[in-house]
Protein backbone atom coordinates (compact mmCIF):
# COMPACT_ATOMS: atom_id res chain seq x y z
CA UNK A 1 0.00 0.00 0.00
CA UNK A 2 1.33 3.43 -0.98
CA UNK A 3 1.51 6.20 1.61
CA UNK A 4 1.33 9.75 0.24
CA UNK A 5 4.39 11.85 1.08
CA UNK A 6 3.95 14.30 3.88
CA UNK A 7 5.62 17.67 3.83
CA UNK A 8 8.02 17.85 6.70
CA UNK A 9 9.17 21.13 8.14
CA UNK A 10 12.90 21.41 8.62
CA UNK A 11 13.97 21.02 12.20
CA UNK A 12 14.03 24.34 14.00
CA UNK A 13 16.69 24.94 16.61
CA UNK A 14 16.14 27.68 19.16
CA UNK A 15 19.16 29.73 20.18
CA UNK A 16 19.99 32.33 22.74
CA UNK A 17 22.39 34.82 21.22
CA UNK A 18 23.82 38.03 22.62
CA UNK A 19 23.23 41.11 20.43
CA UNK A 20 23.66 44.82 20.95
CA UNK A 21 20.69 47.05 21.69
CA UNK A 22 21.07 48.56 18.21
CA UNK A 23 20.86 45.14 16.52
CA UNK A 24 17.84 44.22 18.62
CA UNK A 25 16.05 47.49 17.81
CA UNK A 26 16.73 47.08 14.10
CA UNK A 27 15.31 43.57 14.02
CA UNK A 28 12.32 44.69 16.06
CA UNK A 29 11.63 47.32 13.37
CA UNK A 30 12.06 44.69 10.65
CA UNK A 31 9.69 42.37 12.50
CA UNK A 32 7.06 45.08 12.93
CA UNK A 33 7.28 46.01 9.23
CA UNK A 34 6.88 42.36 8.26
CA UNK A 35 4.16 41.57 10.85
CA UNK A 36 6.21 38.83 12.48
CA UNK A 37 8.11 38.15 15.69
CA UNK A 38 11.62 39.46 16.24
CA UNK A 39 12.97 35.90 16.43
CA UNK A 40 11.34 34.98 13.14
CA UNK A 41 12.72 38.15 11.48
CA UNK A 42 16.23 37.21 12.65
CA UNK A 43 15.80 33.60 11.56
CA UNK A 44 14.58 34.55 8.09
CA UNK A 45 17.41 37.07 7.72
CA UNK A 46 19.95 34.41 8.60
CA UNK A 47 18.31 31.91 6.22
CA UNK A 48 18.34 34.49 3.42
CA UNK A 49 22.05 35.16 3.93
CA UNK A 50 23.04 31.51 4.31
CA UNK A 51 25.03 31.46 1.05
CA UNK A 52 27.18 34.37 2.22
CA UNK A 53 27.74 32.73 5.62
CA UNK A 54 28.66 29.45 3.90
CA UNK A 55 31.14 31.26 1.66
CA UNK A 56 32.64 33.08 4.65
CA UNK A 57 32.96 29.86 6.67
CA UNK A 58 34.65 28.11 3.74
CA UNK A 59 37.02 31.05 3.19
CA UNK A 60 37.96 31.17 6.86
CA UNK A 61 38.56 27.40 6.94
CA UNK A 62 40.84 27.69 3.90
CA UNK A 63 42.58 30.68 5.48
CA UNK A 64 43.48 28.59 8.52
CA UNK A 65 44.90 25.84 6.32
CA UNK A 66 46.63 28.03 3.71
CA UNK A 67 46.58 31.73 4.60
CA UNK A 68 48.80 32.81 1.70
CA UNK A 69 46.58 31.07 -0.87
CA UNK A 70 43.43 32.71 0.50
CA UNK A 71 45.11 36.12 0.55
CA UNK A 72 46.01 35.65 -3.13
CA UNK A 73 42.44 34.59 -3.97
CA UNK A 74 40.97 37.60 -2.18
CA UNK A 75 43.47 39.89 -3.90
CA UNK A 76 42.50 38.47 -7.30
CA UNK A 77 38.83 38.93 -6.41
CA UNK A 78 39.45 42.57 -5.48
CA UNK A 79 41.35 43.17 -8.73
CA UNK A 80 38.49 41.63 -10.68
CA UNK A 81 36.04 43.92 -8.93
CA UNK A 82 38.21 46.89 -9.84
CA UNK A 83 38.26 45.83 -13.49
CA UNK A 84 34.49 45.38 -13.54
CA UNK A 85 33.93 48.75 -11.89
CA UNK A 86 36.26 50.45 -14.37
CA UNK A 87 34.45 48.84 -17.30
CA UNK A 88 31.08 49.93 -15.91
CA UNK A 89 32.26 53.52 -15.52
CA UNK A 90 33.60 53.54 -19.07
CA UNK A 91 30.27 52.25 -20.42
CA UNK A 92 28.48 55.00 -18.49
CA UNK A 93 30.86 57.64 -19.93
CA UNK A 94 30.25 56.36 -23.47
CA UNK A 95 26.47 56.46 -23.00
CA UNK A 96 26.80 60.01 -21.67
CA UNK A 97 28.78 61.04 -24.74
CA UNK A 98 26.22 59.41 -27.03
CA UNK A 99 23.38 61.24 -25.30
CA UNK A 100 24.96 64.69 -25.66
CA UNK A 101 24.21 66.50 -28.91
CA UNK A 102 27.38 67.50 -30.73
CA UNK A 103 28.05 69.93 -33.55
CA UNK A 104 27.37 73.51 -34.61
CA UNK A 105 23.62 73.00 -34.95
CA UNK A 106 23.39 72.03 -31.29
CA UNK A 107 25.60 74.78 -29.90
CA UNK A 108 23.96 77.80 -31.51
CA UNK A 109 27.05 78.42 -33.66
CA UNK A 110 26.95 80.10 -37.03
CA UNK A 111 28.46 78.19 -39.94
CA UNK A 112 32.23 78.36 -39.75
CA UNK A 113 32.34 79.24 -36.04
CA UNK A 114 33.96 76.96 -33.53
CA UNK A 115 34.93 77.14 -29.87
CA UNK A 116 34.44 80.45 -28.05
CA UNK A 117 33.19 82.21 -31.20
CA UNK A 118 30.14 79.95 -31.24
CA UNK A 119 28.95 81.03 -27.80
CA UNK A 120 26.00 83.39 -27.68
CA UNK A 121 27.32 85.10 -24.53
CA UNK A 122 30.89 85.72 -23.51
CA UNK A 123 32.25 83.24 -20.95
CA UNK A 124 32.81 86.06 -18.46
CA UNK A 125 29.23 87.33 -18.63
CA UNK A 126 27.90 87.04 -15.11
CA UNK A 127 24.82 89.17 -15.66
CA UNK A 128 26.18 91.96 -13.49
CA UNK A 129 26.16 95.44 -14.93
CA UNK A 130 28.57 98.07 -13.65
CA UNK A 131 28.34 101.78 -14.20
CA UNK A 132 32.07 102.48 -14.31
CA UNK A 133 33.14 104.89 -16.99
CA UNK A 134 29.52 105.62 -17.98
CA UNK A 135 28.26 109.19 -17.77
CA UNK A 136 25.49 109.61 -15.22
CA UNK A 137 22.21 110.87 -16.59
CA UNK A 138 21.15 113.22 -13.87
CA UNK A 139 24.44 115.05 -13.20
CA UNK A 140 26.02 117.69 -15.40
Residue 108 included in any domain: no
Residue 49 included in any domain: yes
pLDDT for 66: 87
Residue 32 included in any domain: yes
Domain extent, residue 27, equals 21-98
pLDDT for 9: 76
Q: Return the half-sphere exposure (C-beta side, CA atoms, 13 A cut-off) of residue 140.
A: 0
pLDDT for 74: 84
pLDDT for 52: 94
Residue 110 included in any domain: no
pLDDT for 105: 53
pLDDT for 73: 85
Residue 131 included in any domain: no
pLDDT for 42: 96
Residue 93 included in any domain: yes
Residue 119 included in any domain: no
Split the chain (140 residues) into runs of 10 and give each run's mean pLDDT.
Answer: 64 92 97 96 96 93 87 88 89 84 57 57 60 59
Residue 2 included in any domain: no
Other C-beta atoms closer than 10 Å to the C-beta of 117 total 9
Domain count for the chain, please give it. 1
Angle at 95 between CA 94 and CA 99, to 5 degrees: 120
Amino acid sequence: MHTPPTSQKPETIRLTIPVTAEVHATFQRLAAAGSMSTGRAMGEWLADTLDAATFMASTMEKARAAPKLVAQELHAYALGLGDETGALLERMREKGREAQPVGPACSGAKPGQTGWEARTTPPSNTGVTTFKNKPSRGKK
